[in-house]
Amino acid sequence: MINLKSKILLFCSSYAPLFLIILIQNHNTITKNFLDFFNIFKKGHIYSIFDILIIIKIFIHPVTILLILLLVGICFLLCLLNKHNQLIQDKIEVSETKNVTSESMTYIFTYLVPFLSLNLNSTINLYCIIVLITTIGIIYINSDMLYINPLLNSFGYKAFKISGKILNLGKEVQDVFIITPKEIKKISENSIVNFLQYDEEILIAGSNMQNK
């Protein structure tokens, strides 16, 4: 099974576009928080409990939380995709395949666009959004939605669910998630794909694929 940390980070990366939109709309708040934080530490040390309260207020502010989630999600996805450049030796012979990349558009209109109708400059609304995103995140993590990620499309990658046999291990796998680079347009049944295994259910494909 995919470990919980990977599920959470995949979810954060899938919501990165929404986080970015919210942060852009709240750029004045980000600037103010940064200046407050900088002014406190410019003094060289924290002088009072008032300074501590300001720091706590900055870090629990919804804009700060969303900024952290945005950076964590993007960094995780970039690190994950960077494994594509590593030496790939394992091969899987595909018996079943399904392209799930197009489902990202449904995800965008169902789970991302509705948020844009809210007042994203209201602090109360931002806390409500975080609660709602957390609820959706729990559903996302506990369901079969991990392969739906709009950022993969943005970076030119595709997502497939495949079943097949890992040739060097002689091991059968069912419904694993494989991320393919733009060089691979389609994975066909009976094709052989080079891959690097990130997790038990997440594979990173190489640039080459052999068709039988």
108/136: higher pLDDT:
136
pLDDT of residue 108: 64
pLDDT at 18 exceeding the cut of 70: yes
Quote the DSSP letter at residue 47.
-
Residue with tokens 């079969």: 144
pLDDT tens-digit map of 86-103: 656 688 899 988 877 666
* Residues 6 or more apart whose Cβ sits within 8 Å of residue 155: 77, 81
pLDDT at 210 exceeding the cut of 80: no
pLDDT of residue 107: 64
> pTM for this one?
0.74
pLDDT at 105 exceeding the cut of 70: no
- 3-class secondary-structure state, position 103: helix
pLDDT tens-digit map of 39-82: 877 776 666 788 788 888 888 888 888 899 999 988 888 887 77
pLDDT of residue 163: 92
pLDDT tens-digit map of 183-201: 787 888 888 888 887 777 7
Residue 203: strand pairing partners: 178, 197
Helix runs in the chain, H state only: 4-14, 16-25, 27-42, 49-60, 62-82, 103-107, 123-142, 150-154
pLDDT of residue 186: 83
pLDDT tens-digit map of 161-181: 899 998 888 888 888 888 888
pLDDT at 148 exceeding the cut of 80: no
Average pLDDT in the chain? 80
pLDDT of residue 54: 82
203/106: higher pLDDT:
203
Share of the chain above pLDDT 70, in %: 80
pLDDT of residue 16: 86
Domain residue ranges of the chain, discontinuous segments joined by +: 4-210
